[in-house]
Amino acid sequence: MSAENAQHAEATNGTDRIRTDVAHNARVWNFWLGGKDNYPVDRAVGEQVVEMFPGIGEVARADRAFLGRAVSHLVGDVGIRQLLDIGTGLPTGDNTHEVAQRLAPEARVVYVDNDPIVLTHAHALLTSSPEGVTTYIDEDARNARRIIETAAETLDFTRPVAVMLLGILNFIPDTEECRGIVRTLMDAVPSGSYLVLTHPTLDADVGGAGNQPAMDFWNANATPPITGRTRAEFLSFMEGLELLEPGVESCSRWRFPEADPVPQFGAVARKP
């Protein structure tokens, strides 16, 4: 790890903030993805959610596959070289910098998450190619201005940035607050930048109708609380931006129309 890549990870290793008595989203998401970075409490809640909503593992895998397709398009086809991935999650296969730097080794990636378990594993995200950079910021998405200030040590905000919020706005219950976060982030980046979003839904046309009991169970037993949103609410996060084809889709089907839908929307939009 270079000094630059390490700059935000050394302050605290996060272990003193980890709670093993309550399930945490980053760890349960890791469990659904088949990872080992989780505790018994996470597996117990994760298994119960699977019982109530058997498609959850498919949602998690589809979300990661969407990440791969979206980042590949933005870096490989559009020429984006800077990515700000907020709500990173625990390291897994094909993390954002790995997808990006495979196509453009000079790509610069800033990861942000507020879960201490992600901080303790951040070293696995700080494995940049020598030509590029990866850094990690331990911060809450609600502090969007502070994220921009810290990310500016790594990213040049006069040049296009892909702002990624995958599976995270659903942990901010107030829809207007989500819009404010997205606005703050997108106001900080220049024309030609992109917003990449995924978000769970209860909308029936993508299979979300049976999802409410599992979300209620989650909210009674795990943290942070989750909120599903409609297609219209999801679309409202991209107000003022130009949606790339195919628009708002189930993330499994975004540029992969042969897939079955999952109740998680995905979209990519360009700042004009």
Ligand X SMILES: C[S@@+](CC[C@H](N)C(=O)[O-])C[C@H]1O[C@@H](n2cnc3c(N)ncnc32)[C@H](O)[C@@H]1O
Residues that bind ligand X (CB under 6 A): 25-26, 29, 63-64, 67, 87-89, 113-115, 118, 140-142, 166-168, 171, 224
> Which residue in the block uniquely carries the two structure tokens 């809640």?
45
State the minimum distance, in angstroms, from the CB of residue 206 to ligand X: 17
- How many other CB atoms sit within 10 Å of the CB of residue 205? 11
Q: What's the CA angle centered on 126, arms 141 and 34, to 5 degrees?
A: 75
Q: Which two tokens stand for residue 178?
A: 């989500």
State the minimum distance, in angstroms, from the CB of residue 24 to ligand X: 7
State the minimum distance, in angstroms, from the CB of residue 165 to ligand X: 8
Residue 20 carries which side chain, given as an amino acid letter?
Answer: T
Name the residue nearer to ligand X (CB basis): 122 or 133.
122
Name the residue nearer to ligand X (CB basis): 26 or 238.
26
Report helix, strand or coil for 136: strand
Name the residue nearer to ligand X (CB basis): 102 or 142.
142
How far apart CA 168 and CA 157 sit, in angstroms, is 22
State the minimum distance, in angstroms, from the CB of residue 140 to ligand X: 4
State the minimum distance, in angstroms, from the CB of residue 28 to ligand X: 8
State the minimum distance, in angstroms, from the CB of residue 120 to ligand X: 12
Name the residue nearer to ligand X (CB basis): 89 or 207.
89
How far apart CA 137 and CA 145 sit, in angstroms, is 13
Helix H or strand E segment including 58? helix 56-72
Name the residue nearer to ligand X (CB basis): 4 or 140.
140
| CA distance from start to end of the chain | 36
| ω into 116 cis (within 30 of 0) | no
How far apart CA 234 and CA 179 sit, in angstroms, is 10
